[in-house]
Amino acid sequence: MNRVELGRSIAARRQDLGLKQEDAAEMANLTAKTLYTIERGKGNPSLASLEKLLGVLGMTFQIAIRSTDDEGARL
């Protein structure tokens, strides 16, 4: 999922819950401008901010870390 898809999912969930951007942002301790940019796929929130926002919306996220080379990770 990229930033635009994530933003759309967040906006849709917020709207499903009947929350205004300002209210959801305040509940997540974010500014309304920050939430606006996240919902439009322009923001780059910290994981902590994203976790708070998703918690307010009753959502969770999972992070998958994969190697981008053909030979796999060499740790």
Distance CA 3, CA 8 (A): 9
pLDDT at 8: 96
pLDDT at 42: 94
pLDDT at 73: 52
Quick check: 72 pLDDT over 60?
A: no
Quick check: 70 pLDDT over 70?
A: no
pLDDT at 16: 97
pLDDT at 69: 74
pLDDT in tens, 9-68: 999 999 999 999 999 999 999 999 999 999 999 988 999 999 999 999 999 988 778 887
